[in-house]
Amino acid sequence: MTPQTQHAELQITGMHCASCSARLEKSLNQLPHVTAVVNIATEKASITFDAAATDLDILIETVRKTGFDAHPARDFAAEKAARQAVLRRERRQFFIAVLLTLPLIVEMLLMFAGIHVMLPLWLQWLLATPVQFWAGARFYRGAWSALRSGSSNMDVLVALGTSAAYFMSCAVWLLGLDQAVYFEASATLITLVLMGKLLEANAKGKASAALEALINLQPKLAHTERDGKLLDVSAGSLRPDEIFVVRPGESMPVDGIVLEGSSSVDEAMLTGESLPQMKQAGDKVYTATLNQQGLLRCRALAVGSRTQLAAIIRLVEQAQGSKAAIQRLADRISAVFVPAVLAVAALTFIGWWWIGGEFSGALINAVSVLVIACPCALGLATPTAVVVATGRAAHAGILVKDAAALERAHALTVLALDKTGTLTAGKPSVTDVLAAPGIAGDALRHTAAALAQHSTHPLARALLDPLGTAQTVEVSDLHEYAGLGVSARLDGTDCLLGSPAFAAQNGVTLNDSALHALQQQGKSLIVVARNGTALGTFALADGLRESSRRAVSKLRGMGIRVVMLSGDNHATAQAIANQAGIAEFRAEVLPQDKAALIRSLKGEHEIVGMVGDGINDAPALAAAEVSFAMKSGSDIALEAADITLMHNDLMAVADAISLSRATLRKIRQNLFFAFAYNVLGIPLAVLGMLNPVIAGAAMAMSSVSVVSNALLLKRWQPSEPNRAASI
């Protein structure tokens, strides 16, 4: 049976730690033909499955059997409203728990101060019981679900620890035993864990602020022409080819093309470029960009989910829901961490009871071990940093396809740059026309135009701007040679147009000294020949982008080896490389050879990145460890790339690598904090040096500190001070 591959996004509720997400991911991946990635920071499962073997109902049922709940992911606003409703309910539970726990805490604090005021045991029980079984019900549900599926998680630790303190206290009260009671410990632990969860939820909400800001940019209203009238309609109701009008100070409701009018448009939210772009008839405009001056009459090209802004939002959501390779380390550790902690707690209890002979003291030390070891911080260390970093990248006009690409970028040692459209503006223009002796300029231009209009090469297309379309000629035997040129029979004669090397291969004699002089100036040459004789040569120049030299300098300063790839001859490539400050380049590289060069660089034990913008760059982009595509490039290049640069600026590559390095530093810091917290805390608890209440407070604050540390990535700024997005 032919596989029917489908993709689904499920919103998950009930996950609390890395063990939860790892357990759910394992359950889903055990289904036939299912590949699932579960992200605890976004609380989503991204699932690819074969519809012939599995359907959405089976996936949701599997989630529920594993102990969680799920529903198909809705739009951001609906999910946010649902999360806020849950947050309000949990906040209410927390404050009621605080009111019930306060008298118990006051009693404990007075005891530390030397004032022994004991609440009646029945009152302590009355205060602690609602906290234990109402406010703390979520921990029992989570623990039961985990144990039922044959695993364990943070809820098991909290439920076991607090239940041990609570039920031991009940036994002391009801049986009249001469032992201390710990109602205050169980109630305080649950209250502190709830506080940590609330603080964590607020911090996670801030982490996705960039995505929310992007979504809020989508305009709500459009002015459209229908039946000869200008009507105000919902932007979502516009259809392709409808005519809409944008007044000064308004945002574009959809992607379109200008039919009438001229204006400057602020595209900072889309490209990160602060300078307004002039728009006139024939220019494209994009959703949510701001019309600053004139009235524009436009035709809709892309609406709804097909707009550029919608594509950006999808990419950001995809990146935030993906998983970095370093996260798998935390997942593997969490899979064995909770069972190991349970064993340590049991040994602690047995050891203290055997050595000290005191049941209550041994139990409390075991409870401290259970509480201090909760792996919440471990599970949040990586995904929160990824969520913040990808949102910050989108803010700067850098769209990251997935977390793995963001992670790999920090390790790049070599960056290969395509010349045309990457280092240069990609808009060559004719600078010199050299007609051969005895050849009329009109004949040269006529032949060049007739051949150029049948070629897809950027240099051939650039010839048509000054030459225009040739008059009708009889064309036959047309052949285009990728990266070299084009040949054909025009009005019965054999003609060609292409590089000097292509002309020489076809037996055309050239004036090498004149051509060499032009090439030394960094110009590209196109030779026109008829019946084996050169008619003349066109010289074209494609200037460096304004920021290219600064970007190359910055990349080299970051310890990255920069290599330029060019289809031009050696002299032209040398001139451009010198202008850009690049010491290493490869000239006369055909499109099909670029991917082989990338593989060759990788064979030198280098970690290679590739920057390109054309269709012919797609194989090389796919071959690189990390690939970057300019937004001005072809759709195929954008699809093949890991990271898309919305502002066509090489400096953004340096920024992406800089952000990757900052993100990996934060992830490593978070993992260090999480591990160090457990490594230090568990021995103290085993040795009886940690009160359960203090352990609970430390556990709650560890999660908050990890998320707060990830939020510091919001301070990262792109290197160009004038590049800033409105979000």
Catalytic residues: 418
Q: Is 359 helix (H, G, I), strand (E, B) or coil?
A: helix
Compute how many other C-beta atoms are within 10 angstroms of the C-beta atom of residue 379.
29
* 3-state DSSP of 56-91: HHHHHHHHHHCCCEEEECCCHHHHHHHHHHHHHHHH
- Residues 336 and 320: their CA atoms lie apart, in Å, by 26
Q: Is 255 helix (H, G, I), strand (E, B) or coil?
A: strand
Strands (E) in 401-492, as ranges, are 414-418, 429-435, 475-481, 485-490
Structure tokens at 47: 């699932």
Structure tokens at 540: 């074209």
- Residues 5 and 542: their CA atoms lie apart, in Å, by 44
Q: Is 304 helix (H, G, I), strand (E, B) or coil?
A: helix
Cβ atoms 548, 578 nearer than 8 A? no
Nearest Cα to Cα of residue 623 among 651, 645, 592: 592
How buried is residue 150: exposed, middle or buried, by Cβ count under 10 Å (0-12/13-18/19+)? exposed
How buried is residue 264: exposed, middle or buried, by Cβ count under 10 Å (0-12/13-18/19+)? middle
Compute how many other C-beta atoms are within 10 angstroms of the C-beta atom of residue 705.
18
Structure tokens at 86: 């849950």
* 3-state DSSP of 554-590: HHHHCCCEEEEECCCCHHHHHHHHHHHCCCEEECCCC
Q: Is 439 helix (H, G, I), strand (E, B) or coil?
A: coil
Cβ atoms 554, 649 nearer than 8 A? no
CA angle 614, 615, 616 (to 5 degrees): 90
Q: Is 302 helix (H, G, I), strand (E, B) or coil?
A: strand
- Residues 419 and 51: their CA atoms lie apart, in Å, by 44
Cβ atoms 301, 252 nearer than 8 A? no
Cβ atoms 319, 386 nearer than 8 A? yes
Cβ atoms 45, 9 nearer than 8 A? yes
Q: Is 8 helix (H, G, I), strand (E, B) or coil?
A: strand
Give the DSSP per-residue string, 694-712. Answer: HHHHHHHHHHHHHHHHHHG
Cβ atoms 83, 44 nearer than 8 A? no
How buried is residue 666: exposed, middle or buried, by Cβ count under 10 Å (0-12/13-18/19+)? buried
